[in-house]
Amino acid sequence: MTTDSADDGPSAPRVRPRVSIEELARRKGVQPVESLDDMARDVFSSDDDLDEFLTFVHADRQAGLA
C-alpha cells in the first residue's frame, strides 16, 4: 500500500508545540541573573577563570578601538 505523503511513516519528525521562552524558563525553574556576583559564582569555577575572562573581554574591546 502506498501513501500520499512521505511524512506519514514512523520516521517522520515529531512536531512539538511552540512554547514561549518564559514558559520554558518557568518549567526549568530558571531565574534571571540579579547581580554580576551571582553570575560569576555560577558560571566561573574560580576567580582565576573570571579574571581570565575579564582580561580577554577588555583586550578584545581595546583591539576593536584601534
> Do 27 and 20 meet the contact criterion of CB atoms below 8 Å apart?
no
Q: Is residue 13 part of a domain?
A: no
Q: Is residue 43 part of a domain?
A: yes
Q: Is residue 62 part of a domain?
A: yes
Q: Is residue 7 part of a domain?
A: no
Range of the domain at 59: 34-66
pTM value is 0.38
Domain count for the chain, please give it: 1
Per-residue model confidence as pLDDT tens for the chain (66 residues): 555 555 556 687 888 889 999 999 999 998 887 887 776 666 778 889 889 999 999 999 998 776
> Do 54 and 46 meet the contact criterion of CB atoms below 8 Å apart?
no
